[in-house]
Amino acid sequence: MCGIVGHLGNQNAAGILLEGLKRLEYRGYDSSGLAVLQDGSLAVTKRVGRVKELIGAIKQAPVESTIGICHTRWATHGEVTEENAHPHLSSDGKITLVHNGVIENYNTLRSFLTSKGFSFSSETDTEVLCNLIAYHYAKEAETAEGSRFATSVRKALLHVEGTYGLAALCANCPDEMVGARHGSPLIQGVGREEILLASDVAALVSRTPDVVYMNDGELVHIVGNQFSLTTLDSEDIKPVINTVDWDVSEGELGDFEHYMLKEIFEQPTALENAMRGRFSQDGSTAKFGGLNITPQDLRQIDRILLCACGTAWHACLTMEFLIEKYARIPVEVEYASEFRYRNAPLDKNTLVMVVSQSGETIDTLAALRESKRKGYTTLAITNGVGSTIARESDGGIYQHAGPEVGVASTKAFTSQLMIGSILALYLGRLRDMSFNDGVEMVEGLKQIPSLVEKIVQLSEDIHRIAKKYVHKQDFLFLGRQSMFPIALEGALKLKEISYIHAEGYPAAEMKHGPIALISEDCPSLFIATEPDTLSKVVSNMQEVKARKGQLIVVRSESCTMPEGLADDEMVIPDCHPVAAPILASIPVQLLSYHIAVERGCDVDKPRNLAKSETVE
Ligand code: AGP
């Protein structure tokens, strides 16, 4: 949700900034802009549309400077227009600002600034903050030039209510850049002859592996290739430089047409990486390096609360099923956005776990903070190494799925399911699960990558099926038990990338309402992989067929269908029950992908969405 890059060094900034911005485009892509300090004044270029529009504009009218900031926007305040795009420029031309977050008291501040003679050309909260910095800059005329700009940012932020990750330049300060963070991520890249700022390490790793993850309430003042980190109250902070282990080529598209397809095909590797080093030597249980909670303490846990948003919430629903089944610990799943405002009764033996691909989702972060504030032990499952959620939780498990660029989550989802399965095994073995059951489960988990490899090879067959359903406007996704979350995820995937209305339900719930939707125009996708409930699911399918509904079935090899019942089938291999949710997810992802591409949709950047929701 909005991407920021800033650069101060001794090379031309524009190319470096735009390369970084391309890598952050998944965060927002309705407009973008770039500002540099050129010949003593701030030159701002903005374009509506994708970053490539901005790149084209800079090619036509190149800018020359070693200092600059840029931004790709996901609109919060004001429509998608050039005026509302960032960077904003203060009305006195002194300050330019890029910002991710929401300034909640911007109306009050705007009235104040208008009374002081500042004017506005956009509807955004960011322009208000930009003018507020300029107001303080003018007021600080007496302050020595070396600290005047940073002081004015600091003073402005003390009057702000809301969230921000920001980078600012001042027309009078050719070798200074100021960044600050509260609630929205900001990371510094520390190169040999350059310092960068960005919302995500993805924008930095091609320049430097050395980064400083800023925390809320911190401000960085960069002067040349030196920087100082302080609190908003000017207390010095010793920066911790982390070295990021990130292969830049992992984030490249390669031979694939879309990141989403690439990431679907990367699942065997991502799942292998999620398992690597996590099984005990005797092959009957698991081990995790970073839980920071002893087996003794884990045995005392009598309830687990799982919090997440979107796809990660669906992963939590599957984890609930797995942990209750294999570890016999009661689990509850909450939308993080609801939990944070609800005073849910928890007792001291409750373990709170948050799940987030990015590790930056603001609602999930808020749920984590609220749980910590109440004194609960917190764990995080995240793909975001060094992310805010990873840093603020008491312990956690990294997914190691590699960068996920497509806005629609695929490999991160299945790797969360893998981590959840291994965790269920571990917790189960700490309690009642037998050695033999543990060994069998480990064997079942180890087979997953090769089985997934076989399923992704069905892509072209699934493509042929997809073509038959391209013009449908409604879809039902149905599954029972551990397949219900996969049905929900299937419906989310289809709607977010193809804009087809889709709903997920437990198959048996169909008769309590959704059956009213069934017609020739509303196909149903059933997931039938569990022999125990197969006969019931087949009855539900027959109810659909009786109402002229088309049937697409994802089934396991041994869950055979009555002749002629399914219109289309996608068959996955038989497997240990723990593996079934992961395996069943793959055909559902591929079907959504191919339908969306056939409809001409931009699957990697679906309308109105952003990969990482860092504002509420
Ligand atoms: C996934 O396809 C979605 N775009 C979205 O629901 C996402 O899962 C959600 O915003 C949570 O993100 P996180 O895992 O990074 O916290």
Q: What is the mean pLDDT of the chain?
A: 93
For position 129, what pLDDT does the model report? Answer: 98
How far does residue 361's CA lie from ligand 1's centre (Å)? 8
Question: Cα separations (Å) of 40 from 121, 173, 211, 493?
Answer: 22, 9, 30, 49
How far does residue 19's CA lie from ligand 1's centre (Å)? 24
Q: Is the residue at 583 inside a domain?
A: yes
Nearest residue (by CA) to ligand 1, atom 6, is 310
Question: Minimal CA–CA distance to 390: which of 353, 342, 336, 346?
Answer: 353
2 noted as active-site residue: yes
Task: Say whether both 12 and 48 belong to one domain.
Answer: yes
Q: Is the residue at 611 inside a domain?
A: no
pLDDT tens digit sequence for 237-251: 999 999 987 776 777
Question: Cα separations (Å) of 500 from 51, 401, 586?
Answer: 27, 28, 19
Task: Say whether both 535 and 558 belong to one domain.
Answer: yes
Q: Is the residue at 615 inside a domain?
A: no
Q: Is the residue at 613 inside a domain?
A: no
Helices (H), 276-410: 295-300, 310-327, 336-339, 362-373, 388-392
- The residue out of 446, 470, 492 marking a domain boundary is 446
Task: Say whether both 514 and 385 belong to one domain.
Answer: no
Q: Is the residue at 349 inside a domain?
A: yes
Residue 29 has pLDDT above 90, yes or no: no
* Domain CATH code at residue 34: 3.60.20.10
Cis peptide before 606 (omega within 30 of 0): no
Strands 377-382 and 350-356: parallel
Q: Is the residue at 452 inside a domain?
A: no
The two three-digit tokens of residue 105, written as one number: 């008291």
Atom nearest to 613 CA in ligand 1: 10
Nearest residue (by CA) to ligand 1, atom 10, is 310
Is the shortest distance between the CB of 357 and ligand 1 below 6 Å?
Answer: yes
Task: Say whether both 193 and 283 belong to one domain.
Answer: no
Task: Say whether both 502 and 382 belong to one domain.
Answer: no
pLDDT tens digit sequence for 462-499: 999 999 999 999 999 999 999 999 999 999 999 999 99
Task: Say whether both 154 and 32 belong to one domain.
Answer: yes
Is the shortest distance between the CB of 529 and ligand 1 below 6 Å?
Answer: no
Q: What is the pTM of this model?
A: 0.84
Instruction: Please state, in angstroms and rounded to a whole number, the distance separating the CA atoms of residues 515 and 540.
Output: 10
Task: Say whether both 505 and 379 belong to one domain.
Answer: no
pLDDT tens digit sequence for 564-610: 999 999 999 999 999 999 999 999 999 999 999 999 999 998 888 77
DSSP 450-518: HHHHHHHTTHHHHHHHHHHTTT-SEEEEEE-GGGHHHHHHHHHHHHHHH--EEEEEEGGGGGGTGGGG-
The two three-digit tokens of residue 598, written as one number: 């056939």
* Domain CATH code at residue 304: 3.40.50.10490
Task: Say whether both 255 and 242 belong to one domain.
Answer: no
Q: Is the residue at 591 inside a domain?
A: yes
For position 511, what pLDDT does the model report? Answer: 85
- The residue out of 190, 224, 246 marking a domain boundary is 246
Instruction: Please state, in angstroms and rounded to a whole number, the distance separating the CA atoms of residues 68 and 61.
Output: 16
Task: Say whether both 473 and 598 belong to one domain.
Answer: yes
- The residue out of 425, 446, 467 marking a domain boundary is 446
Task: Say whether both 16 and 161 belong to one domain.
Answer: yes
Task: Say whether both 306 and 434 belong to one domain.
Answer: yes
Taking residues 102-113, report their average pLDDT: 95
For position 255, what pLDDT does the model report? Answer: 87
- Beta partners for residue 198, in sequence order: 5, 187
How far does residue 310's CA lie from ligand 1's centre (Å)? 5
The sign of the CA dihedral 176, 182, 186, 187 is positive
For residue 84, the enclosing domain spans 3-246
Nearest residue (by CA) to ligand 1, atom 8, is 311
pLDDT tens digit sequence for 342-395: 888 888 899 999 999 999 999 999 999 999 999 999 999 999 988 999 999 999
Contact 74, 27 (CB under 8 A): yes
Task: Say whether both 436 and 503 belong to one domain.
Answer: no
Q: Is the residue at 451 inside a domain?
A: no
Give the chain's domain count. 3
Question: Minimal CA–CA distance to 186: which of 139, 218, 160, 162?
Answer: 218
Instruction: Please state, in angstroms and rounded to a whole number, the distance separating the CA atoms of residues 105 and 294.
Output: 45
